[in-house]
Chain A
Amino acid sequence: MLCARPLLFRSACLSKSIPSRPFSKDSAAASYDVVIVGGGLSGLALAAAIGSLPLARELLNIALVDASDLTRKYNWNSDPHTYSSSVCSITNASREFLDSIGVWQHVEQSRTSPIESMQVWDGISNSRICFSNSDIDPGGSIFEMARLTENLNLHRALLHRLDEIPGRVELIDQVKVESITRSGTWPVVNLSGGRSLQTRLLIGADGFKSPVRSFAQIGSSGWAYPSHAVVGTLHHPSSNHPQHNTTAYQRFLPTGPIAFLPLTKEVSTVVWSTSVQLASILRSVHPDVLAHLINAAFRLPEVSIRYLHSILLERGADGITPESITEEIKFRENAHGIGPHSALYSSDVVSLGVGIPPIGSEAYPPLVHSVQAGSQASFPLKLSHADSYVGEGVGERTALVGDAAHTVHPLAGQGLNMGLEDARVLAQTIGEALSLGGDIGSYISLIPYHTARYAPNHAIISVIDKLHKLYSLTSPPAVWARSVGLEVLNELGPIKSALMGVAGSKTKQDMAEPLQHYGAAGWHAAATVVESLSGGIRTGKVVAGSLGGLVSSLVQNAAKNTRG
């Protein structure tokens, strides 16, 4: 039974039913208007967005190529008690886009969690910034700031949406791109198995190492951070925590930020960026050891965190048992005078889960009882930005979206949202070119996409990078300056609401308006603030320079934001 798979994959079945053709690649090249390389979230969202264009049905022949088995993602059906540790934060702007292209309705809502507030604090000075819905609209008409969900939930939703758009997007999975060549000015994608696709427009949604970007000879600049991120699924049942697990927590430790991201009332995800050596140990320690370390990492003073890190590095993943790490944490708690009635106490998780929680518990995430078996993973952290999102000359008829165009540190949860916004704008650009009789692969048709996306992405990339660098500093003047900065920022409503515009908040009244401008203004404000801070620290003019510059830029931006 050849085509027993769902409708979606009929094309893939078809491609396999055709034996390798006896003639040359060129003569076998099928002709497409759009070929997307990469079936990740950005690539699939772009396919859905282009496929949903009113003009696409008549005018476009679209294919998406991916190396993985998309059928497995299409059929993903997880046990209700296990969660994938690969999660994403979807801003309200992104959600609105997913809704407009018919994807959001396919997202399993019970496996998403709203974020109603965020707590971000300095690992050394403990100065803190709190974002909550009351910052934007004291009237309380805001429902949430962002939505967290597993990547697979969104992945499946995208595939189900594509299945609904009959005949418009051909999915070709489990094939590798062997090479990309040209036939005249049109790119030809040569796939493993001998199939070749000639295309008017080739889109690279093929990630950090983008073969399409190399083919188009588009340079990119960036670097690998000397750190990796460790992720894991955290269980914290029968929590007596004062919040209903709708608050995201992030502590900036000098080794990198650790973030606690809610998934359900009793399940959350950790994203812990730290040194490469520590990450490799954390990824392979016993899950209970990791649970203790996560609780401690949000609570113990930085000096004790450093001590725990030195123990990990000394003994390695196998040299530490849940009992031994509990003893170490207890010892540090005693040293700091942290007792069972303190919100900072974490060494006895079970007794803390019952009764009245200590005062100030809402400032820290719920205590983790266990880390889901098999959920620990780690990945390297990078920054990169392509020199252009649209190829020209030798690279003509190409465009880049998502990680192929830009890779950022996950500390702000912006990577996917940037990719989705790329998809939205590129689809809109293609729609506009179609309505003007343009050749959608031409540089002239595509350049509005580059113009609209490059500067906003650049602002986000630089803020995220500078935040990361700023918080990895430990010298007292730097810590003081950034702490003052954060506290001043915390008091300034307009900037906070602008930043939250990016984080995805909005009021019900704003529903009809596009959020993108709001977000861009926020990042520009944040960019100026961070610029002042990091610039001040670098040049040593900590007191006069950064504070003066910070306050003036805050005021200027606050003015701009309230006007705009």
Chain B
Amino acid sequence: MNRIASIRRTVRSLHSTASTINPDEIDFFSRLASQWWDPRGEFALLHRMNPVRVGFIRDKIIQTLDEDITPLDHLSPTRSARILDGMEALDIGCGGGLLAESLARLGARTTGVDASESNIKIAALHASADARLTTGINYRYGSAEEMVAEGKKFDLVCSMEVLEHVNNPRTFLTSCADLVKPGGHLFLSTISRTPLSYFLAIFMAEHALRLVRPGTHDYSKFVKPSELVEFFQHPDLAWISRTYGGIPIRKEAEIRGLIYNPLEGAWKTLPAGLSGTQCNYLFWARKPNLS
């Protein structure tokens, strides 16, 4: 009973703060939250996706670290095994803490934010069981907008499988971009708006195979990679200076298709570019340095 009351409070408070968070969805995911950490449960697809998206984050970070090394530094590339050591990371829409825990284990001082209070409770509870995580992770109930208002900045901002659920993607993306330090990284994963994504993410995943609960996704909220590129290319942000055939240059942003093989039960990333981005995809962009 307490939980339902807290969700009602959450919903009311969210209405009053005119946030981008959709109240119906908070209610929906709170009901699912207790199943977050069951690898064979309702979030099985997300559990299976996590290593792949962490791999994407890891590889982009390593690549930029390598490229940032000036010839002088080049003699001492002794990097810690924990590649995110010394970084501040933010996971927006952290859910039960799947990605946040991985970021913390890789060395980042991680903040996980979620619009569902019960998700935050589950995430904190789960992390507290692991002595190696207790110092590197911090969860808070709230929204990206609240973090912006507080003037917080991070080296690494991630928001995975969230964009396709928000009511006002433009405001949400602006907040995400604001939270990144100059020279920092933004990682998103979401679903494109194509006939294929309707067929796979809604018809097959929700209705035919029941991999995901029906009602999880709303086709009209799906975001195309080209729309993301356009958003970050706009002079207001100018994270992307130019594109070639719709593809941004490698040092500024990257799009990678993400496909699920139901027979292997495994996700796989495709090479950088627009091929295979008709359904799930990963997006990375780097905020320009002030200089």
Write out, one digit per residue, whether chain A residues 423-457 have a CB within 8 A of any chain B CB (1) or not (0). 00000000001111111001111000001000000
| One of A54-62, A104-112, A228-236, A550-558 at the interface | A54-62
**A439 CA to B54 CA in the complex, in Å?**
12
Contact of B39 with A438 in the complex, beta carbons under 8 Å: no
**A393 CA to B38 CA in the complex, in Å?**
8
Contact of B129 with A444 in the complex, beta carbons under 8 Å: no
Please judge, given known A-B contacts A31-B131, A59-B81, A438-B54, whether A444 and B39 are in contact too, CB under 8 Å: yes
Which chain A residues lie closer than 8 Å to B105 at the CB level? 59, 437-439
Q: How many residues of B contact A (CB 8 A)?
A: 24
Q: Is A186 an interface residue (CB 8 A)?
A: yes
Report B183-214 residues with CB < 8 Å from chain A CB.
none
Which chain A residues lie closer than 8 Å to B48 at the CB level? 444
Describe A's contact surface by its main secondary structure: mixed
How far in angstroms is the closest Cβ of chain B from A56? 9
Q: Is B47 an interface residue (CB 8 A)?
A: yes
Contact of A439 with B101 in the complex, beta carbons under 8 Å: yes
**A200 CA to B101 CA in the complex, in Å?**
15
Contact of B39 with A437 in the complex, beta carbons under 8 Å: no
Q: Is B102 an interface residue (CB 8 A)?
A: yes
Q: Is B106 an interface residue (CB 8 A)?
A: yes
Q: Which residue of B lies closest to A443 (CB)?
A: B39
Which chain A residues lie closer than 8 Å to B131 at the CB level? 31
**A90 CA to B112 CA in the complex, in Å?**
49
Which chain A residues lie closer than 8 Å to B101 at the CB level? 437, 439
Q: Which residue of A lies closest to B52 (CB)?
A: A436
**A442 CA to B133 CA in the complex, in Å?**
15
Which chain B residues lie closer than 8 Å to A54 at the CB level? 81
Give the residue of B47, B102, B130 whose beta carbon is less than 8 angstroms from that of A436: B102
Q: Which residue of B lies closest to A435 (CB)?
A: B58
Q: Is B246 an interface residue (CB 8 A)?
A: no
Q: Is B16 an interface residue (CB 8 A)?
A: no
**A341 CA to B55 CA in the complex, in Å?**
70
**A58 CA to B82 CA in the complex, in Å?**
9
Q: Is A6 an interface residue (CB 8 A)?
A: no
Please judge, given known A-B contacts A436-B102, A437-B101, A437-B106, whether A444 and B51 are in contact too, CB under 8 Å: yes
Give the residue of B80, B103, B130, B264 whose beta carbon is less than 8 angstroms from that of A439: B130
Contact of A186 with B129 in the complex, beta carbons under 8 Å: yes
Which chain A residues lie closer than 8 Å to B58 at the CB level? 435-437
Report A32-59 residues with CB < 8 Å from chain B CB.
33, 54-55, 57-59
Give the residue of B47, B102, B129 whose beta carbon is less than 8 angstroms from that of A437: B102
Which chain B residues lie closer than 8 Å to A445 at the CB level? 51
Which chain B residues lie closer than 8 Å to A186 at the CB level? 129
Measured CB to CB, the residues of B under 8 A from A are 39-40, 47-48, 50-51, 54-55, 58, 80-82, 84, 101-106, 129-132, 264
List 17 other contacts, CB 8 Å, given A437-B58, A438-B51.
A33-B132, A58-B82, A59-B81, A184-B129, A185-B129, A392-B39, A392-B40, A435-B58, A436-B51, A436-B55, A436-B106, A437-B104, A438-B50, A439-B101, A442-B39, A444-B39, A444-B50
Measured CB to CB, the residues of A under 8 A from B are 31, 33, 54-55, 57-59, 184-186, 200, 392-393, 433-439, 442-445, 451
User: 26 A-B pairs, CB-CB below 8 angstroms?
Assistant: A54-B81, A55-B81, A58-B80, A59-B105, A184-B129, A200-B130, A392-B40, A393-B40, A434-B81, A435-B58, A436-B54, A437-B54, A437-B102, A437-B103, A438-B50, A438-B54, A438-B105, A439-B101, A439-B105, A442-B39, A443-B39, A443-B40, A444-B47, A444-B50, A445-B51, A451-B264
